[in-house]
Structure 1
């Protein structure tokens, strides 16, 4: 029977997220936000685990604020001399922009750099700095990253990317030393036992024994159903190292706002960036020599072309049978979002203003085995009603909609998520689409995700809408038309591509 410090450690571990000794951790003074109660409990748990020299996996549902909780943990650890140091965040490419924006927003003044692309560098690393990298870059540069340490903390975001313990990515990640390791995952990894082992054996090495022993002792017994008590034994063993809260948990939903809107920043691929710059160059040259109606027409052509390139090169190039994967930053991010949403058992509306883009998404998602429906202007009324019924009954969790077809009159309250794949530059129209999900009869919080390509015209229009919300309806009520009066210089400034190398 354990006694003394071992018993105290066991008791502190036995109550994850509860008062396991000492007063709960206060929110860091440097955090430019107020954490919700459950986020404070998550921070408290992470602080206790990491201060004991143990790692942990925060596996809350998407939308509960894992990123801000982790930023708070980083800030807290900077005030503890033995824990301080730079934090390395390893995440999918499509989430790097989001991390940078969240850090700048919630921890203003905290240095943050991307370790990615050809000009990547780890020179002059500051103690409280965030370094963001991708799983691909980490795999290539694990030795450089390991030598740049000691890291105060290494974070694996969307940690299911290292679920195969024998993959090169997982093996390289293990070589990077840190005072603390934290995994973040929005998917219920406890349902997949080998995945669970891989993630927890990274955060807290050796805790679950060897992979073979774990398979023999727990996984085979649980998966075959031959030993009903095995699942309970495993649950007790991992409970201290894994904190998962669902939106549906008692006490969580009342803390959530009815609607949360997030701009999700994503970089262009090399192909997109090349096309974007070529179109800007060609059409700005034409605009310089045009005036009147012809000039206005060219500006609309330019803005439409750039929006389509930001969506997917195949849309702009009007390809008949396009190769879809790997060519669009937005599409990669949509895949990440949908994977998490579907594993949660949630339902989602995906809006695009272009029927052609909706068809590209339909083909791509169908090839990935995602159950979906597509509604556009040409869909007959009877068919529309049947599609709405199927969605509301939970038969097809992903609903692709073109803006014009779905702007009004549909009641789609089954959706807990709304994704705007492209922006309409008219806040009233965008709000109207969101309200398909967020309206009377909605009993769950709705998350709105707006996909925005960094450094592009989309990014600047989004900032304009944010800055001038009250003017936006007046100025942009007519969409692209309002921008046709810009001077050549203003236009060039609006559309030039600013460094966003992936």
Structure 2
């Protein structure tokens, strides 16, 4: 009956108010007061070894969850939609919005009305009848029904709670779900690239998008329509430029306004060429060179400029409101305190799109920088981002914080790899082939002398002076392993000096043998080095050997850079030497079937970027990657050390080679010592 519960037990306890006999399963009737007492004393009973088992249906039918959003779907201050939104238009999210945050009680997953929750809150007993059925409402649930309004959450916190499905209330982590327009918004975000409402290729695009590019266009269109920016982080070589051009055309159809592309100087010509090829009716202005001007810019113009000019002409570029700003190779703004990042943030824009094949080169702070530029304030300040997610995720990529961060980031960052199923099945294989070599006698003598002399100086130094000496040591050792002439700053060899020049360096000898084999097979090669000086030495030497190489580095003028790339792609030169920093991004060099890393960069992401100049869409040959590594030196030892020493691995992950300055004298000596590792 109402307010009664039948209690079964296997050995009747003394003092039971019901009629029973010991040792035989019986039942007794509990009144409302008894039920309350039983609920309150359940923990004490468990401590005494008495387990109370409630009928599952009775206890779990009612549930309470934290809900964020405006249930009525209006456009007031608490809604993620901005005022004045057109009928039928999806709500646009605002980080400054304040959204209702409350408890919502549900019966079997169906929300109770305000009147039903009022009745539940006012019930005098825990066993209540709701919608024709008896359910158990514990004191905590009834208290939540009585005090439903928890307050209002800022847009950033509301979005985080909705995406993770949890929120902290009074130091307890509880389930949370969105309501009203926020629920609709979250539904779109969670669909990602697989949104059922596919966005067609825009008018004016003359290229046929690949399936994954079409999905990226759909994702960009739906995400930005909600008021968010986005990071397209596809692997190098998967055609992010074409996807961005398609999105630019789509965006201008929906929201007219000039588009601005900011990119490295080496990519200005690429953007202009790709736009002329794939969007011939799109007016393009290259804001570059001494005659640069914005006078011809209209609402349908695409302006292409460089990060350097963004810093120099910041005021002029910020005078306009840009409908779309695209930051290509956006890792150039990965340091939020840099002048580049500050100028990029100062550009007035409706929509922001970051393109980067390496959204994280060193640490998750770089990821925050890209996300915070595309969606200002959405992920909170950097210190809070690192405290809540990044620090723990970097230490344990398989931990809960990393998983939660992934759920939050996923709606705003699209990442596809060449190896993902169905992405680029026609892309040929990539073979990684380390080529260990031994130092020559001259190299070994120089190496040991530099180590001995510099380590003694390091032991006697402190602070900035010590850091400088560590960098000096590492640089000297890398130069010695490249070639003695590199370390000794000698002039490039003459034709008659070529045999002796080859014999002085094990790496040079290995490179010469390798290129002879590649030439005999009629194939082409890219040779990357971290040093322009070494590039000049190699270019001169390979010229004397008849390879007719091209050389591309940071000081190469833009027009000449384009000419050399075209000449290589046309097959007029079988070898191209490139400086890693200047040529590691933005080039398409699919003529090459071989990539040679002459020296190590200490950063796998940078090497992979360079390799992707050849291993990208348009490549039809298997790409072989040759890494020249001098055995028993600092080059040979770094990978082993990263694996063996967790502290060093973490430091290098979060700080590149600067982390090496924090090694102790003993650790540094172990790192650079010549010979087999002890």
Runs of 5+ consecutive residues of structure 2 not aligned to the other structure: 1-176, 431-487, 521-527, 549-561, 577-589, 595-614, 621-678
Structure 2 match to 1:153: 324
Structure 2 match to 1:129: 301
Structure 2 match to 1:10: 186
TM-score, normalised by the number of residues in structure 1: 0.55
CA distance in structure 2 between the aligned counterparts of 1:170 and 1:323, rounded to whole angstroms: 39
CA distance in structure 1 between the aligned counterparts of 2:276 and 2:289, rounded to whole angstroms: 21
More helix by share: 1
1:223 is displaced (CA, Å) by 2.3
1:235 to 367, 388, 406: 406
Structure 2 match to 1:437: 593
2:215 to 25, 38, 41: 41
Change (3 A) 1:10 1:116: same
Which structure has more relative contact order (CA 8 Å, sep 6+)? It is 1
CA distance in structure 2 between the aligned counterparts of 1:355 and 1:428, rounded to whole angstroms: 26
Does residue 58 (structure 1) correspond to residue 58 (structure 2)? The answer is: no
User: 1:451-470, aligned counterparts within 5 Å?
Assistant: none
Change (3 A) 1:374 1:12: farther
1:244 is displaced (CA, Å) by 0.9
> Cα deviations across residues 24-48 of structure 1 (Å, max 9, x unaligned)?
0001121011111110001111111
User: 1:349-428, aligned counterparts within 5 Å?
Assistant: 379=512
Change (3 A) 1:322 1:11: farther
CA distance in structure 1 between the aligned counterparts of 2:402 and 2:309, rounded to whole angstroms: 37
Match of 1:34, SS state, is coil
Change (3 A) 1:144 1:397: closer
Structure 1 match to 2:290: 118
In 2, are the aligned partners of 1:17 and 1:42 still within 8 Å (CA)? yes
Runs of 5+ consecutive residues of structure 1 not aligned to the other structure: 260-319, 325-353, 389-395, 408-418, 439-443, 450-502
In 2, are the aligned partners of 1:57 and 1:203 still within 8 Å (CA)? yes
CA distance in structure 1 between the aligned counterparts of 2:214 and 2:279, rounded to whole angstroms: 16
Cα RMSD (Å) of the superposition? Answer: 4.3
CA distance in structure 2 between the aligned counterparts of 1:248 and 1:166, rounded to whole angstroms: 34
CA distance in structure 1 between the aligned counterparts of 2:423 and 2:547, rounded to whole angstroms: 31
Match of 1:254, SS state, is coil
Structure 1 match to 2:385: 214
Structure 2 match to 1:92: 264
Match of 2:303, SS state, is strand
CA distance in structure 1 between the aligned counterparts of 2:513 and 2:329, rounded to whole angstroms: 40
Does residue 108 (structure 1) correspond to residue 280 (structure 2)? The answer is: yes
CA distance in structure 2 between the aligned counterparts of 1:232 and 1:397, rounded to whole angstroms: 37
Change (3 A) 1:322 1:61: farther
1:103 is displaced (CA, Å) by 0.7
1:254 is displaced (CA, Å) by 2.0
TM-score, normalised by the number of residues in structure 2: 0.41
CA distance in structure 1 between the aligned counterparts of 2:403 and 2:284, rounded to whole angstroms: 42
In 2, are the aligned partners of 1:36 and 1:255 still within 8 Å (CA)? no
Match of 1:38, SS state, is helix
> Cα deviations across residues 173-206 of structure 1 (Å, max 9, x unaligned)?
1111111000000114286200000010000111
**Residues matched between the structures, number:** 318
CA distance in structure 2 between the aligned counterparts of 1:131 and 1:375, rounded to whole angstroms: 45
Structure 2 match to 1:141: 313
In 2, are the aligned partners of 1:375 and 1:384 still within 8 Å (CA)? no
Does residue 254 (structure 1) correspond to residue 425 (structure 2)? The answer is: yes
CA distance in structure 2 between the aligned counterparts of 1:78 and 1:448, rounded to whole angstroms: 32
CA distance in structure 1 between the aligned counterparts of 2:213 and 2:404, rounded to whole angstroms: 28
Change (3 A) 1:35 1:447: closer
Structure 1 match to 2:201: 27
CA distance in structure 2 between the aligned counterparts of 1:184 and 1:44, rounded to whole angstroms: 16
Structure 2 match to 1:327: none
Structure 1 match to 2:667: none
In 1, are the aligned partners of 2:236 and 2:616 still within 8 Å (CA)? no
In 2, are the aligned partners of 1:88 and 1:132 still within 8 Å (CA)? yes
Structure 2 match to 1:79: 253
CA distance in structure 2 between the aligned counterparts of 1:426 and 1:69, rounded to whole angstroms: 23
CA distance in structure 2 between the aligned counterparts of 1:138 and 1:426, rounded to whole angstroms: 31
Does residue 201 (structure 1) correspond to residue 385 (structure 2)? The answer is: no
CA distance in structure 1 between the aligned counterparts of 2:408 and 2:281, rounded to whole angstroms: 40
Structure 2 match to 1:415: none
In 2, are the aligned partners of 1:116 and 1:134 still within 8 Å (CA)? yes
Change (3 A) 1:375 1:181: same
Match of 1:79, SS state, is helix
> Cα deviations across residues 86-123 of structure 1 (Å, max 9, x unaligned)?
10111111111111111111111211112223322222
In 2, are the aligned partners of 1:253 and 1:445 still within 8 Å (CA)? no
CA distance in structure 2 between the aligned counterparts of 1:120 and 1:216, rounded to whole angstroms: 44
In 1, are the aligned partners of 2:257 and 2:299 still within 8 Å (CA)? yes
Does residue 223 (structure 1) correspond to residue 358 (structure 2)? The answer is: no
Match of 2:290, SS state, is coil
In 2, are the aligned partners of 1:30 and 1:107 still within 8 Å (CA)? yes
Change (3 A) 1:197 1:113: same
In 2, are the aligned partners of 1:122 and 1:148 still within 8 Å (CA)? no
1:126 is displaced (CA, Å) by 1.1
CA distance in structure 2 between the aligned counterparts of 1:8 and 1:190, rounded to whole angstroms: 34
1:50 is displaced (CA, Å) by 1.2
In 1, are the aligned partners of 2:427 and 2:617 still within 8 Å (CA)? no
CA distance in structure 1 between the aligned counterparts of 2:183 and 2:427, rounded to whole angstroms: 37
1:145 is displaced (CA, Å) by 1.4
Structure index of larger Rg: 2
User: 1:303-318, aligned counterparts within 5 Å?
Assistant: none
